A and B are shown apart, each in its own frame.
Chain A
Amino acid sequence: MVIQDTLFVLWLMVAGPLWATVGLFLLPGVNSGRKEKDQIPAATLKIAGLIGGFALGPLGVGLLYFEPALIRRTTLTLGVIVTVFATSQVLARVVDPNLPTALWLLLAGPLWAVLAAYFIPRHYRELEADDHNVLTAAALGGFAIGPLIFGLMWKTTPKVNRDWMIVLGSLGAWQIYALFAIQNVDNPCVAAPYNLTYLTQQTANGVVIGCIYSLMAVGLTLIYSVQGIVSFAHGQLYMVGGYFSFYFLLHAGNILSDLTGAEVSVNPIWGIPVAAFIVFVMGALFERVFLKPMHEGLIERVSEYAILITFGFGFFLEYTTLAIAGPFPQKTDRFIEIRRFTLNRTQITDDFSFGPIHIIGDRAFAMVVGIVLIFALLYFLQRSWTGRALRATSQDRQAAAVTGINPTNMNTLSFAMGSMLAAMSGAALIPIFNWVPWVGAEMVGRSYVIVVLGGLGSVPGALAGGIIVGIVEALGAGCHPDPSRGAAYKEAFALVIFALVLLLKPTGLFGREQH
């Protein structure tokens, strides 16, 4: 009963009869403007629209509308999927809940993903077809639709674009959710009445924390894109940013209290620019003294040197802070006095309600700070001369130098700005988490995952990577069948996605391919 409720509501929202009707009426429009010899029979279009909308909702209708060349194969594929899914539902109820999983493992899933990822790209190369994104599409296709992906890609070797990935990825994710729902009827991510409210709550949790993760990761990616090195002091720069903010707020509060004679506390928002300024200067100095020789050819083993020197800098910062600030946790006041924002429960039908959804006030504020800063950085990189110079240096140092850009200054600027972003991230989070001198360790590990996931050197990639990691962690911890394991493995969930992306798209989601 619970499964039926869940899947039914989900299906009604994202696919089902409504979208089947839309497909039925929309698809015949494909023929308009086509020459008569290119026209597709109206009946075919109607059936395709019906099945596409029924199975995949707007995704199916959109795909068929804009890629009519795929109509026959896609319709066939979707028809098979709907049949398989419906059969598995029946089998799960009538025979055994494990049967749909077994069926899926036989007809699709990891086995077919591996086979497709191995054979299809080779076939493309043999035919000298454009194999861009083919590996990813083949793996996702094998996973989602099993042997049908061979039918779709083998004979005509179609050019693969991002839409393929979106459709096949969504299909695979939806199948996993369906199988998960069958196997875990009491899970809050599945069971009515929690399902949609709970999923939305966890997704919101993930997006909020993900934006905050992104801010730190952006700094790391900026340094990498210009200098080609990974800063192993990034976590500690994040940590000192929080401490600079803390001590600034403490002393500013004391001074103002002395002046006014009343207890005054300064809003932590003011700590962000202070921490940014101090750490910017600190980063610039470090770069000039310790990293500049590396770019001047004075260091023999540049990569090892960069790792060791930034590692050493990180240790220095951590233990100096421990000596000065001590090991006891610190925290600043709140950004805003609202403890949490709550979207109240809304009764949608007699049997179905949505909400409440809670977001902690300070987290929401920090998320806004993170997004504003990331977009400000993007604007700076895209629109200002210095930002363009940074990008030019990241693309080709020698060519940039020829046009009058000083790469040495760009190196310093990138490291200082990257460090500053880490510090701003720290200053934005000290009202939220307890601050101790080793607080950066967990965060920086996650940042490496984010930047590689998003694509090393890509700022939008870091934003996307942060949000993906946030959502995956939240859903992983929140939906794991065993709550105990879910909490303990929280960080491992993001690593699984990380490993998959590295396997399928080694440059990351938004990374540049090196030629």
Chain B
Amino acid sequence: MKRISRIISILAILALAVMLPLGAVQADGHCEFADYTITLGGLAPMSAPGAVAGGVAMDWAFKQAAADINADCGISIDGVNYMVEVITGDSEGSPERGQAVAERLILEDEVDGMVGVYHSAVGLATMGVMEENAIPTIFSEPWNDNVSANGIIEFEGAAPRFADGIDHIFRISPASSMVGSVVTDWLISLGAEDVILIVENTDYGQPAAADEQARLEAAGVTVSQIDIELGTEDFVPILSRIQARAEPPDAIRIVVTGETSFNLTQQMAELGIAPTPETICVTNQIAFQHVQYWQTVPDGNYCAFNRVGIIPSLFNDTAIELNAKYEAEFGDIVPSFGMASYDAVFMMRDAMERAGSYSDPTSIVAAIEASDITLSQGRYYFTYGAHNESMPSDDGLPDFMWHQWPDPIVTVMQYFEQGQSSLDAAVVYPEVYQTHGTGYVVPGTSP
């Protein structure tokens, strides 16, 4: 018996020894790769309490980008092709965990750059780690304004990241204020006078709601805010409070991410609070994932949602191809954070190639600042950085425009048919992107 198992072991080792070079030959099929593999760290929430569905989409996008880059002969620096690998670290949506994982990726895995991050709290907590270790970083989803603004402003007693002359952090997702302004402008344009904000108690939700509240109140709108904890399942007692009001609100805006927003939206619809002809429902961007949305919010017809990222009618070839791959894997439309995560890896490749280095953070940062590349979400560039003597405030812009991609498309979309694909949903705002000629589809009607 022992002899047989020894023979099997030897055969297995021999088979492995034969197959390994074969693999290398396959990889060398049409490209010559150097021995060194460029590694990027990808931070994403892969387990609870983080938004795991978001993390899985981001992880998929990292891996897909790496596969597509390697199929295109990897990262070419001074005529040498390097394979790229993205190592995903699970932030669990927690700042402490995110910090620990970022340190592990930098110090143990020795990554050459960082991409990703979903939760703002994780983004804010890990920025310092990347900065201390001089790791070029492109965030693809955190929205808190300070993620980019901290490059040039003091935040919670910490010096601006740019204080020593170089800032390694970039962002290609929108800042909360960019998203909030679109939704609030839309609500104001519809004449809403009484708005309820239901807000998650996080580093994303609170500042985003504060910003939206300020904008609405500046326009004379009465705003009430209700905070909730992420992961809450039963919202009925809270919603009953809204239901008990003498007059229904004009709009309920849900500033809650992930699957928690689905539970909330469905219960709101079940109780008949919104969407109704009297009350507009504005839910989270995750509603764009129509398969998930209709499965979990079957009563959510006529709910509007903010869409971050390019709208389906404007998808370019890269976006169409990426969406097809995502749909084949998950059966749904690729979310904006999937597209942004995919693009972030490609941007890192582009910057390293132009910098002529994968290990010199200063030149890579300079190259990212000078980016001008069109990927799945459109043309990426950064107006404010060390390459521009002007600061955002010099041009009358907010501080978060520092190292911030200025053009993420933010729209308000609205379903108007039960089970409708998000590709067919109406883009209702801004007017320039309207697809169905209306700024709002009143429940019970068709555009």
Q: Which of A206, A329, A477 contacts B238 (CB 8 A)?
A: A477
B393 at the interface (CB under 8 A from A): no
Q: Which of B53, B229, B232, B272 contacts A327 (CB 8 A)?
A: B53
Does B226 lie within 8 Å of A441, measured CB to CB? Answer: no
Set of chain A residues within 8 Å of B201, measured between Cβ atoms: 488
Set of chain A residues within 8 Å of B3, measured between Cβ atoms: none
**Known contacts A434-B262, A490-B237; is A483 also within 8 Å of B226 by CB?**
yes
Render B217-259 as a binary contact track against A, CB cut-off 8 A, 1 for contact.
0000000111111011111111011011110000000000001
Complex CA distance for A194 and B226, rounded to whole angstroms: 19
Set of chain A residues within 8 Å of B282, measured between Cβ atoms: none
**Known contacts A205-B237, A434-B262; is A490 also within 8 Å of B299 by CB?**
no
Does B270 lie within 8 Å of A340, measured CB to CB? Answer: yes
**Known contacts A340-B270, A434-B263, A436-B259; is A327 also within 8 Å of B52 by CB?**
yes
**Known contacts A194-B244, A360-B271, A434-B259; is A473 also within 8 Å of B296 by CB?**
no
Complex CA distance for A56 and B326, rounded to whole angstroms: 66
Complex CA distance for A188 and B243, rounded to whole angstroms: 10
Does B244 lie within 8 Å of A197, measured CB to CB? Answer: yes
A156 at the interface (CB under 8 A from B): no
- For residue B229, give the distance in angstroms from its CB to the closest CB of chain A: 6
Residue in A closest to B200 when the chains form the complex, CB atoms: A488
Complex CA distance for A198 and B241, rounded to whole angstroms: 8
- For residue A442, give the distance in angstroms from its CB to the closest CB of chain B: 6
Does B262 lie within 8 Å of A478, measured CB to CB? Answer: no
Set of chain B residues within 8 Å of A475, measured between Cβ atoms: 237
Set of chain B residues within 8 Å of A477, measured between Cβ atoms: 237-238, 241
A346 at the interface (CB under 8 A from B): no
**Known contacts A197-B244, A202-B240, A488-B229; is A483 also within 8 Å of B224 by CB?**
yes
Set of chain A residues within 8 Å of B421, measured between Cβ atoms: none
A139 at the interface (CB under 8 A from B): no
Complex CA distance for A473 and B271, rounded to whole angstroms: 18
Residue in B closest to A436 when the chains form the complex, CB atoms: B259
- For residue A367, give the distance in angstroms from its CB to the closest CB of chain B: 12
Does B53 lie within 8 Å of A328, measured CB to CB? Answer: yes
- For residue A447, give the distance in angstroms from its CB to the closest CB of chain B: 14
B56 at the interface (CB under 8 A from A): yes
Complex CA distance for A188 and B226, rounded to whole angstroms: 15
Complex CA distance for A442 and B232, rounded to whole angstroms: 8
B94 at the interface (CB under 8 A from A): no
Render A173-199 as a binary contact track against B, CB cut-off 8 A, 1 for contact.
000000000000000100001100110
Residue in B closest to A484 when the chains form the complex, CB atoms: B227
Does A483 lie within 8 Å of B238, measured CB to CB? Answer: yes
Complex CA distance for A477 and B244, rounded to whole angstroms: 13
- For residue B51, give the distance in angstroms from its CB to the closest CB of chain A: 9
Q: Which of B233, B238, B266, B296 contacts A486 (CB 8 A)?
A: B238
A474 at the interface (CB under 8 A from B): yes
**Known contacts A329-B259, A484-B227; is A188 also within 8 Å of B241 by CB?**
yes
Q: Which of A330, A363, A441, A487 contacts B227 (CB 8 A)?
A: A487
Residue in B closest to A358 when the chains form the complex, CB atoms: B271
Render B358-396 as a binary contact track against A, CB cut-off 8 A, 1 for contact.
000000000000000000000000000000000000000
Complex CA distance for A474 and B234, rounded to whole angstroms: 10
Q: Which of B224, B240, B267, B272 contacts A478 (CB 8 A)?
A: B240
Does A340 lie within 8 Å of B227, measured CB to CB? Answer: no
Interface residue count on the A side (C-beta < 8 Å): 46
Residue in B closest to A212 when the chains form the complex, CB atoms: B234
**Count, A-B residue pairs, CB within 8 A:** 122
A72 at the interface (CB under 8 A from B): no
Set of chain A residues within 8 Å of B262, measured between Cβ atoms: 329, 434
Complex CA distance for A441 and B48, rounded to whole angstroms: 10
- For residue A240, give the distance in angstroms from its CB to the closest CB of chain B: 16
Does B233 lie within 8 Å of A433, measured CB to CB? Answer: yes
- For residue A108, give the distance in angstroms from its CB to the closest CB of chain B: 29
Set of chain A residues within 8 Å of B245, measured between Cβ atoms: 188
B292 at the interface (CB under 8 A from A): yes
Does B259 lie within 8 Å of A484, measured CB to CB? Answer: no
**Known contacts A328-B292, A358-B243, A490-B232; is A478 also within 8 Å of B237 by CB?**
yes
Render A194-235 as a binary contact track against B, CB cut-off 8 A, 1 for contact.
100110011001100100000000000000000000000000
Set of chain B residues within 8 Å of A438, measured between Cβ atoms: 47-49, 52
A485 at the interface (CB under 8 A from B): yes
Does A484 lie within 8 Å of B233, measured CB to CB? Answer: no
Residue in B closest to A357 when the chains form the complex, CB atoms: B240
Residue in A closest to B201 when the chains form the complex, CB atoms: A488
Does A202 lie within 8 Å of B237, measured CB to CB? Answer: yes
Render B284-304 as a binary contact track against A, CB cut-off 8 A, 1 for contact.
000000001001101100000
A339 at the interface (CB under 8 A from B): yes
Does A331 lie within 8 Å of B236, measured CB to CB? Answer: no
B55 at the interface (CB under 8 A from A): yes
Set of chain A residues within 8 Å of B49, measured between Cβ atoms: 438
Does B233 lie within 8 Å of A478, measured CB to CB? Answer: no
Does A484 lie within 8 Å of B52, measured CB to CB? Answer: no
A439 at the interface (CB under 8 A from B): yes
**Known contacts A205-B236, A209-B234, A439-B233; is A478 also within 8 Å of B53 by CB?**
no
Set of chain A residues within 8 Å of B263, measured between Cβ atoms: 433-434
Set of chain A residues within 8 Å of B232, measured between Cβ atoms: 442, 487, 490
Complex CA distance for A443 and B235, rounded to whole angstroms: 14
Does A201 lie within 8 Å of B240, measured CB to CB? Answer: yes
**Known contacts A358-B272, A360-B270; is A478 also within 8 Å of B295 by CB?**
no
Complex CA distance for A198 and B49, rounded to whole angstroms: 33
Does B240 lie within 8 Å of A205, measured CB to CB? Answer: yes
- For residue A7, give the distance in angstroms from its CB to the closest CB of chain B: 19
Of the A-B pairs whose beta carbons lie under 8 Å apart in the complex, a sample of 29, sorted by A's number, is A197-B244, A205-B237, A206-B237, A209-B234, A322-B52, A328-B330, A329-B262, A340-B272, A358-B271, A358-B272, A434-B262, A436-B53, A436-B259, A438-B47, A441-B48, A441-B231, A443-B233, A473-B237, A483-B224, A483-B226, A484-B225, A486-B238, A486-B241, A487-B226, A487-B229, A487-B238, A488-B228, A490-B232, A490-B237
Q: What 6 A-B pairs come out closest when comparing CB atoms? A: A327-B52, A438-B48, A477-B237, A474-B237, A329-B259, A484-B227
Additional A-B contacts beyond A198-B244, A442-B233, A477-B237 (13; CB < 8 A): A188-B244, A188-B245, A205-B237, A329-B295, A358-B243, A360-B267, A360-B270, A363-B236, A433-B263, A434-B266, A438-B49, A439-B233, A487-B227
